[in-house]
Amino acid sequence: MSENRLKYETSPYLLQHQDNPVHWWAWGPEALAEAKRTGKPILLSVGYAACHWCHVMAHESFEDAQTAQVMNDLFVNIKVDREERPDIDAIYMGALHRLGEQGGWPLTMFLDSEAKPFWGGTYFPRESRYGRPSFTAVLLRIAEAYQNQPENVRKNTEALVASLRDEAQSTGGAVAGPDVRSLVQAITRAVDREHGGISGAPKFPQWSIFWLLWRGGIRFGDEAAKTAVVTTLTNICQGGIYDHLGGGFARYSVDEYWLVPHFEKMLYDNALLIDLMTEAWRETKTPLFKVRIAETVEWLKREMIGEAGGFAASLDADSEGEEGKFYVWSAQEIAEVLGAEDAAFFARIYGVKPEGNFEGHTILNRLDAQALLSEAEEARLSDLRTKLLERRSSRVRPGWDDKILADWNGLMIAALARASSVFDEPEWRTIAEGAFTCVTTKLSAGGDRLYHSYRGGVAKAPATASDYANMIWAALRLYQATLSESYLEHAKRWADVLDRHYLDDAGGGYFTAADDTSDVVVRLKSASDDATPSANAIHLSNLIALAALTGEARYDDRANELAASFSGAVARAPTGHCGLIAAGLDLGRAVQVAVIGSGDPSLAAALYSLSVPAALEFLSASGSFSPGSPLAGKGAPTGESTAYVCTGPVCGAPVQKAESLRQEILIARG
């Protein structure tokens, strides 16, 4: 007899559905075998714990006995947490896009009994509305077509799978890349000059785009590109997308002003924003960025450190069944907490009005008061925020998805490692090292292999290329921060795993899934940008760094092969490959900067006083570099702190004055 099997899972998202009357299966061999045994089509529902519309569809349809009965009678129903199985999500989201549909979650796909997709959509309401048919009507129509039009279904599955497979195979053949300077200028023109972000709504942080603009701004001396990034970050930092009481950034803004967020907070957004703000602060010394980075790390420490020191995945958008309820305020409640005089001062800065700015409530923001006030006034605001945060802590909290994901942890570890050095915050490095240890121990799959996800003492889900690429990035950042050889060794061994199990020997580049991941109908391969950077983009940077650090030509060769393998895809859609293009700026010219000796703090300050995106940076009392590095054997010959700037395999003359180091860095980054 069928039953809902999700009670046996560890994913918070799957556990949210364990009491549904739907006979849910988790993705796996048992579910796929059931589809083959019964000959029923598969209804695949993909979402994640912090997803608002996933909750809406669950309440409307999956908790409804009549709808569940139709699902149970006609389909084998499989639930997937997209964060736990991003490889599965990517396949079927790709299929949806090929059907001409806009993607999003919940993802609702219909598969044949071999798990090949033939039709799908996203959210379907229980009753027909929003211009969408009712979910039950869709179910009946799909089941009828599957039963009575098998040839049409077969043609759809073959076409969709072939299209997915063709994309993975059509990237080969080196072609001329875009003019990066012109591309940076074109993207800059698409940025909203007043509010930042790509013009229009909704607005996402889109790290890959703004990382390319920042890198291009630095490389080409393009002040407009740098200004576009600074404007974007400033508005994000002062908008409602930022949690002004508790720290941390929401996933996106539904409007063009960064005012009304989709309230879920994701680990990856916060990691990437910390990293980009760190580089922007180095160049601009904008106090706001330093403050927001510190506040976001405090949020991370307070709310996002999970089991064994790893970082949790997300916080939900909803609490008590309402999106944003935990975060919004009324003018009356603020006055109750702060008193009339302080409430009036606070309201003036944070846009609090009796009528509110979001469905009768207020989302705190500083969009109309972006400039920081005097030190005394900011201290007063800080005290008031503390009082409001204390009041907010008594509310029903949003759901916490505390699973530890290797790829997202890699992004945050990398960001913290760099920020800890730039801002001289050793505690941040300690937190990053704790999360690194969590991944290497709790997510170990034996040898140098990893699992993707960990929760409740259970590691599961096959690692994707992003797990290795992002953890290599984390290891390389920790190596720069500590000069501990163990981090470099981890990076090298994980790079070997990518080559052994993910490399496309025929076409170059890396597949999303390993060669021994047995439950995917096609192995995808892409370097296009998503909410998180692609594995191929991150690993291109990794390979360039490994070549510079070790002097081993194999890494340089692999980097050039990877870039060439996607050159056709980049030429066809350059704005969709900003991360890869940004990483490719370092091909053949990786920059390394080292300050050796601890006697002169001005040299250390100079090291971090200019943004050199993707540079390898070291601050070491003694200096101990890998034998193949151009820094090998370098030291402080006269006993004074000494700095070296290397481009590719060649290092400049040693310098011992801060201004001389700044000049060397300016030359190297141009």
Residue 28: give the domain boundaries.
6-169
Mean pLDDT of the chain: 95
Mean pLDDT of 606-622: 91
Residue 575 in any domain: the answer is yes
Dihedral sign for Cα 633, 635, 638, 642, please: positive
Q: Which residue has the tokens 């163990």?
A: 486
Structure-block tokens of residue 458? 């259970």
8 Å CB contact between 495 and 543: yes
Task: Note the pLDDT of residue 395.
Answer: 97
Alpha-carbon distances, residue 405 vs 267, 437, 456, 590 (angstroms): 10, 13, 13, 29
| Same domain? 313 vs 217 | yes
Q: How confident is residue 172, by pLDDT bands cut at 50, 70 and 90?
A: low
| Same domain? 424 vs 340 | no
Task: Note the pLDDT of residue 446.
Answer: 94
8 Å CB contact between 191 and 231: yes
Mean pLDDT of 450-469: 97
Task: Note the pLDDT of residue 170.
Answer: 64
8 Å CB contact between 133 and 71: no
| Same domain? 534 vs 622 | no
CA distance 332 to 521: 56
Q: Which residue has the higher pLDDT, 131 or 253?
A: 253
CA distance 235 to 227: 12
Mean pLDDT of 341-352: 98
DSSP 101-159: PPP-SSEEEEE-TTS-EEEEES---SSSBTTB--HHHHHHHHHHHHHH-HHHHHHHHHH
The whole-angstrom distance between residue 186's C-alpha and the CA centroid of its chain comes to 24
Mean pLDDT of 240-247: 98
| Same domain? 92 vs 128 | yes
pTM: 0.96
Q: Which CATH number is 449's domain given?
A: 1.50.10.10
Residue 184 in any domain: the answer is no
| Same domain? 310 vs 331 | no
| Same domain? 284 vs 413 | yes
- Name the domain boundary from 128, 152, 169: 169
Q: How confident is residue 670, by pLDDT bands cut at 50, 70 and 90?
A: confident
For the beta carbon of residue 155, count every other beta carbon within 10 angstroms.
Answer: 12
CA distance 197 to 185: 15
| Same domain? 412 vs 272 | yes
Q: Quick one: which H or E segment has residue 453?
A: strand 451-455
CA distance 499 to 397: 43
Number of domains into which the chain is organized = 4
- What would the pLDDT profile of 504-557 be if each residue is shown by its tens digit? 999 999 999 999 999 999 999 999 999 999 999 999 999 999 999 999 999 999
8 Å CB contact between 665 and 610: yes
pLDDT > 70: percent of the chain: 99
| Closest C-alpha to 205, from 537, 669, 578 | 578
Q: Is the pLDDT of residue 147 over 60?
A: yes
Residue 209 in any domain: the answer is yes
Task: Note the pLDDT of residue 575.
Answer: 96
| Same domain? 201 vs 314 | yes
Task: Note the pLDDT of residue 594.
Answer: 95
Q: Which residue has the tokens 């930042």?
A: 196
- What would the pLDDT profile of 259-313 be if each residue is shown by its tens digit? 999 999 999 999 999 999 999 999 999 999 999 999 999 999 999 999 999 999 9
- What would the pLDDT profile of 554-604 be if each residue is shown by its tens digit? 999 999 999 999 999 999 999 999 999 999 999 999 999 999 987 788 999
Q: Is the pLDDT of residue 176 over 80?
A: no
CA distance 432 to 415: 9
Residue 367 in any domain: the answer is yes
Q: Is the pLDDT of residue 173 over 80?
A: no
- Name the domain boundary from 134, 169, 204: 169
- Whether cis (ω within 30° of 0) applies to the bond prior to 106 is yes
Mean pLDDT of 346-360: 96
| Same domain? 277 vs 352 | no
Task: Note the pLDDT of residue 649.
Answer: 92
> Alpha-carbon dihedral of residues 562, 563, 565, 570, nearest 10 degrees?
140
- Name the domain boundary from 584, 603, 628: 584
| Same domain? 307 vs 369 | no
8 Å CB contact between 122 and 106: yes
Structure-block tokens of residue 630? 């151009």
Dihedral sign for Cα 415, 318, 460, 85, please: negative
The helices-and-strands tally (H runs, E runs) of the chain is 25, 18
Q: Which residue has the tokens 């979650």?
A: 105
Q: How confident is residue 623, by pLDDT bands cut at 50, 70 and 90?
A: confident
Residue 462 in any domain: the answer is yes
CA distance 271 to 416: 8
> Alpha-carbon dihedral of residues 294, 598, 546, 551, nearest 10 degrees?
170
Q: Is the pLDDT of residue 477 over 80?
A: yes
| Same domain? 250 vs 301 | yes
| Closest C-alpha to 618, from 635, 99, 159 | 635
Structure-block tokens of residue 273? 């924003």
What is the distance in angstroms between the CA of the first residue and the CA of the last residue of the chain? 68
Residue 179 in any domain: the answer is no
Q: Name the phi and psi angles at 581, rounded to 5.
A: -65, -40
Q: Which CATH number is 55's domain given?
A: 3.40.30.10
Task: Note the pLDDT of residue 102.
Answer: 87
**Contacts (Cβ under 8 Å, ≥6 apart) of 652:** 644, 645, 646, 664, 668
Q: Which residue has the higher pLDDT, 582 or 52?
A: 582
Structure-block tokens of residue 600? 């002169």
DSSP 26-80: ESSHHHHHHHHHH-PPEEEEEE-TT-HHHHHHIIIIIT-HHHHHHHHHH-EEEEE
| Same domain? 120 vs 227 | no
Task: Note the pLDDT of residue 171.
Answer: 57
Residue 185 in any domain: the answer is no
Residue 42 in any domain: the answer is yes
- What would the pLDDT profile of 422-439 be if each residue is shown by its tens digit? 999 999 999 999 999 999
Q: How confident is residue 177, by pLDDT bands cut at 50, 70 and 90?
A: confident
**Contacts (Cβ under 8 Å, ≥6 apart) of 360:** none
**Contacts (Cβ under 8 Å, ≥6 apart) of 189:** none
Mean pLDDT of 438-449: 97
